[in-house]
Amino acid sequence: MKIDVITIFPGLFEPFVRESILGAAVSSGRVQIGVHDLRDFTSDKHHVVDDAPYGGGPGMVMKPEPLVAAIEAIAGPKGPGRTARVVLLTPQGRRLEQRHLAELACESALVLVCGRYEGVDQRVVDLAVDEEISIGDYVLSGGEVPSMVLIEGVTRLLPGVLGNPDSAKTESFQAGRLEGPQYTRPATFRDRAVPQILLSGDHGAVDRWRAERAEEATRARRPDLCDDPGPARSGPDRKGDRRADHSEREASGDSDVPTAPGETT
């Protein structure tokens, strides 16, 4: 997959794309990330990307000329011949959910447009944007952090990015439920013991216990999910690849998480 980002703060992305699971995915070539400075697409000597809003009001609005120029240079004009899906990160957009990430992970290329100030000129949306996405009902200073959320959420669903082929199936929201509690060594910590069933070696019983705890957690914390069937799948299934998951240690090649007594690797 190719993901391009249009922003006035490209430096924010330099450490983000180098570290952790995303950094490993970039290094392995499973995802390509390009970051583009919006000011490179201006035509005036001062590289202006914003102006005062028509009708008055506080703040500034991002100008249409550089944004449309940047989008069309990367993805082409809006229409069936476009080479990438163009997404504007904005509080006015569709709220991002796990099933939406799975849909986006099926795209071959994405262009993420990071808004700033009071927003972008509506003509940018009308002429050049395919979809508007919000990461929640709150306001940040710009679309850079939301775009990072989307990039990481999509990338970890791509084939081969994650390591354990089963763990993605049990993550929160994958089956319309929250994930239940997790434990690791030591078996007892400050007089709190790991549930005995997890040490039994009976994988069927462990699976049932985890399903029950997930149901309990969902009903207690997110009852709105209980009537939600959840996404049909966790992401794209290209050429038979199964979705995989791993921790950051696995991504860096340092997978030494201990196995509880009674379990096998």
* Domain boundaries of the chain, sorted by first residue: 2-155, 167-235
Cβ atoms of 90 and 115 within 8 Å: the answer is yes
Place of tokens 């069936």: 80
| Neighbouring C-alpha atoms within 13 Å toward the C-beta of 248 | 6
Rounded to whole angstroms, what are the CA distances from 7 to 23, 41, 121? Answer: 20, 11, 15
CATH superfamily of 2-155: SPOUT methyltransferase, trefoil knot domain (3.40.1280.10)
Whole-model pTM: value is 0.81
Q: Is 175 exposed, middle or buried (0-12, 13-18, 19+ CB in 10 A)?
A: buried
CATH class (in words) of the domain with range 167-235: mainly alpha
Euclidean distance between CA atoms 251 and 57, whole angstroms: 48
Nearest to 110 by CA among 81, 75, 77: 75
How far is Cα of residue 209 from the mean position of the Cα atoms in its chain? 29
Q: Which helix (H) or strand (E) holds 217?
A: helix 203-221
Fold equal for 2-155 and 167-235: no
Euclidean distance between CA atoms 228 and 220, whole angstroms: 15
Question: What pLDDT tens digit does each residue of the chain (265 aa) get?
Answer: 999 999 999 999 999 999 999 999 999 999 999 999 999 999 999 999 999 999 999 999 999 999 999 999 999 999 999 999 999 999 999 999 999 999 999 999 999 999 999 999 999 999 999 999 999 999 999 999 999 999 999 999 999 998 764 555 556 566 788 989 999 999 999 999 999 999 999 999 999 999 999 999 999 999 999 876 555 444 454 433 333 333 344 444 444 434 444 444 3
